[in-house]
Amino acid sequence: MQIKSIAEYEETYRLSVEQPEQFWAGIADNFLWKKKWDNVLSWNFSEPKIKWFEGAKLNITENCLDRHLEKNGDKPAIIWESNDREKPSVTLTYRILHEQVCRFANVLKKNGVKKGDRICIYMPMVPELAVAVLACARIGAVHSVIFGGFSAKSIADRINDSACKLVITADGSFRGAKQIQLKEVIDDALIACPTVEKVIVLTHTRTPVSMLKGRDLWFEDEIKLVDTHCPAEEMDAEDMLFILYTSGSTGKPKGVVHTVGGYMVYAGYTFSNAFNYQPDEVFFCTADIGWITGHSYIVYGPLSQGATTLMFEGVPTYPTPSRLWEVVDKHKVNILYTAPTAIRSLMSFGKEPVEGADLSSLRVLGSVGEPINEEAWHWFDQEVGHGNCPIVDTWWQTETGGLMISPIAFVTPLKPACATLPLPGVQPVLVDENGAVIEGNGVSGNLCIKFPWPGMLRTTYGDHERCKQTYFSTYPDLYFTGDGCMRDEDGYYKITGRVDDVINVSGHRIGTAEVENAINMHAGVVESAVVGFPHEVKGQGIYAFVIYPNLHTEAELSKKDILQTVTRVIGAIAKPDKILFVPGLPKTRSGKIMRRILRKIAEGDYTNLGDTSTLQDPAVVDEIIEKAKNQ
């Protein structure tokens, strides 16, 4: 499946556009199917209705596990590195991983889980998390993994949205110097979740937890009661594989739905190509499995290709700023895939931590999650890759399932901080505000995709209309990404950032409306408006303008209270970096907040505010500026 030259890329790309069905059928032939498809693709973007490999039967875990056993049973599938530097790492070969997945799949079955049931997973970055994910897939249950940084309320909303039947969690998790009491958070969440019948709890941090009789079970006890034989459920290519919640510009998070066949083909194909993975190499993606990057490039992509995937429980700078480099050195990592925010944070410690480690095993570097700035790109290139490792700046989204616009390592000529060219099968277009397609090069616009690809979302769980409204209605017959983009003179794509009300904080998507709703729940707050602002390490920070007329206590205390409210309602990841108490917000006569003005003020740019004459009360802008200056 691997493309070897730019000429081959161009030829492959041409085929993928002219004969997409033939192209994708050829790629899908590299996977294991119990029965091949009757039809490669049927689609329309108006309903939307997208079906890939209709009629085909498969199980993704047979592709990720069983098919590697004969030749590569003893090859490491997962290498796990603990948060604690002193703890030994753990290696699961394909054979062991297969056994553990089958065993845990039997635990799920024993506890009444059936094909199609939704399972919530809220776990630390430990091998059992990958085992839990794959065990669901083994029996056709739909996993919904929730990142460990979300609050009880966020978890409850997600569990209820998809009516999860069972929760898999742990006593707690370690993240650097911090511990999170996962079970306690789950206990709080489940007060409001009537559909959950069982909770399976892994022992990890050994913090005391309370176990509810009849509901809570220990992972360690359960796996002793079952055997390792578990036939893989026969799944339809279009059966649901997982739900992953993500934030948008309005309302509560949406459950993005991916299906078995197309997602598998797409994650596997993009992994193998963009990173140029070679047999016996160690691939290290630093994301958490709670995000799409972890789903596609820690679990499904690498394992479907028989790769060795490294799972790191900790954070790059704990206990010292050289930790990430130590991990690369220790495990002789060949491909390192990380986020600009991590690079910037590591960069801030200077060269010393990185120079102390032997990074000569590295062959390919990757970046994901947010636009990478040129300074960080060059640092990554020079200090980490020593000028020898191509950097693949991969643009994609939870909804796309896998990489969309990205260099192919050793194939695509690179430009610093540029996602370069679409991968085969991806047909990007730029449109103006009215939806008119912008042709030619040296142009900017809103990024859309005009043709389906196998890894794309099929719906948003329980609310297909929302999927249609969010992604397929802004511009008819196009999938709208929510991103702005430049196409340069050479036809290269450079993503400029979100054009909707989504903030990208350290590569994590946060909806401004969600944060505003959380802030507004705090007693005394009348109204708030949240915007992003440039942040040196996080890429974007969260700036909240809050109307809070009766400041009885000290402003700093009130800010603390507000932060606590946001932590309780959404989770620590959505805490504003700055809160400014203001007397009013700039609104149009129809009552719409003019965020454009607030964004400028948040940036510290008080002069280029554009036309403010249409505001209800233009004087409020001066008052806000005054407050911002004195903060």
Q: How far is the CB of 190 from ligand PRX (least distance, A)?
A: 26
| Residue 307 binds ligand PRX (CB under 6 A) | no
At 145, phi and psi to the nearest 5?
-85, 135
Dihedral sign for Cα 156, 158, 163, 166, please.
negative
Residue whose CB is less far from ligand PRX, 68 or 509? 509
Site string for ligand PRX, 499-528 (x = CB under 6 A): -----x----x-------------------
Closest-CA residue to 263 (of 426, 78, 457): 457
β-bridge partners, 310: 79, 284
How far is residue 386 from each of residues 321, 363, 389, 422, measured CA to CA in Å? 19, 10, 7, 27
Q: How far is the CB of 407 from ligand PRX (least distance, A)?
A: 10
List 81, 128, 233, 483, residue binding ligand PRX (CB under 6 A): 483
Residue whose CB is less far from ligand PRX, 419 or 519? 419
| Residue 58 binds ligand PRX (CB under 6 A) | no
Which residue's Cβ has the minimum distance to ligand PRX?
398
Site for ligand PRX in 271-300 (CB under 6 A): 292-293
Closest-CA residue to 166 (of 136, 130, 201, 196): 196
Q: How far is the CB of 270 from ligand PRX (least distance, A)?
A: 11
Strands (E) in 203-265, as ranges, are 216-218, 235-236, 240-246, 254-259
| Residue 334 binds ligand PRX (CB under 6 A) | no
Site string for ligand PRX, 397-436 (x = CB under 6 A): xx--------------------x-----------------
Neighbours of 278 (CB within 10 A): 14
Q: How far is the CB of 163 from ligand PRX (least distance, A)?
A: 24
Pair of tokens at residue 75: 């090859």
List 186, 274, 368, 569, residue binding ligand PRX (CB under 6 A): 368
**Which one of 149-157, 311-319, 367-375, 380-388 is the stretch in contact with ligand PRX (CB under 6 A)?**
367-375
* First CA to last CA distance, the chain: 56
Alpha-helical segments (H) within 433-525: 464-467, 512-520
Q: How far is the CB of 220 from ligand PRX (least distance, A)?
A: 33
Residue whose CB is less far from ligand PRX, 187 or 393? 393
| Residue 222 binds ligand PRX (CB under 6 A) | no
CA-CA distance, 135 to 487, in Å (whole number)? 42
**Which one of 72-80, 150-158, 218-226, 481-489 is the stretch in contact with ligand PRX (CB under 6 A)?**
481-489
| Residue 338 binds ligand PRX (CB under 6 A) | no
DSSP string, 118-179: EEEEE--SSHHHHHHHHHHHHHTPEEEE--TTB-HHHHHHHHHHTT-SEEEEES-EEETTEE
Q: How far is the CB of 254 from ligand PRX (least distance, A)?
A: 11
Q: How far is the CB of 184 from ligand PRX (least distance, A)?
A: 27
Residue whose CB is less far from ligand PRX, 23 or 297? 297
Residue whose CB is less far from ligand PRX, 119 or 256? 256
Closest-CA residue to 393 (of 379, 408, 382, 383): 408
| Residue 270 binds ligand PRX (CB under 6 A) | no
Q: How far is the CB of 560 from ligand PRX (least distance, A)?
A: 28
Residue whose CB is less far from ligand PRX, 37 or 147? 147
Strands (E) in 517-562, as ranges, are 527-535, 539-547
Q: For 347-395, what is the HEC assignment?
A: HCCCCHHHHCCCCCCCCEEEEECCCCCHHHHHHHHHHHCCCCCCEEEEE
Residue whose CB is less far from ligand PRX, 172 or 290? 290
List 222, 370, 501, 514, residue binding ligand PRX (CB under 6 A): 370
Residue whose CB is less far from ligand PRX, 312 or 479? 479
Residue whose CB is less far from ligand PRX, 128 or 483? 483
Helix 182-190 and helix 152-161: axis angle, to 10°?
Answer: 60
Enumerate residues 6+ apart whose C-beta is below 8 A from 128: 100, 104, 170, 202, 219
Specify burial of residue 441 (Cβ count, 10 A radius: 0-12, 13-18, 19+).
Answer: exposed
CA-CA distance, 583 to 622, in Å (whole number)? 11
Site for ligand PRX in 121-160 (CB under 6 A): none
Q: How far is the CB of 512 from ligand PRX (least distance, A)?
A: 14
Q: How far is the CB of 340 from ligand PRX (least distance, A)?
A: 8
**Which one of 177-185, 497-505, 540-548, 602-610 is the stretch in contact with ligand PRX (CB under 6 A)?**
497-505
- Count the residues of the shown chain that bind ligand PRX, applying the rule CB under 6 A: 22
Annotate 22-31 with b (16+ C-beta within 10 A) or e (fewer): ebbbebbeeb
| Residue 246 binds ligand PRX (CB under 6 A) | yes
CA-CA distance, 299 to 78, in Å (whole number)? 9
The single-letter code of the amino acid at 180 is: I
Pair of tokens at residue 414: 């690179």
**Which one of 273-281, 365-373, 519-527, 572-580 is the stretch in contact with ligand PRX (CB under 6 A)?**
365-373
Residue whose CB is less far from ligand PRX, 536 or 626? 536
**Residue reference for tokens 């394909």:** 94
Residue whose CB is less far from ligand PRX, 280 or 374? 374
| Residue 461 binds ligand PRX (CB under 6 A) | no
Query: Residue 544 carries which DSSP code?
Result: E
β-bridge partners, 218: 201
List 140, 149, 314, 482, residue binding ligand PRX (CB under 6 A): 482
What residues make contact with ligand PRX under the rule CB under 6 A?
246, 292-293, 368-371, 393-398, 419, 481-483, 495, 497-498, 504, 509
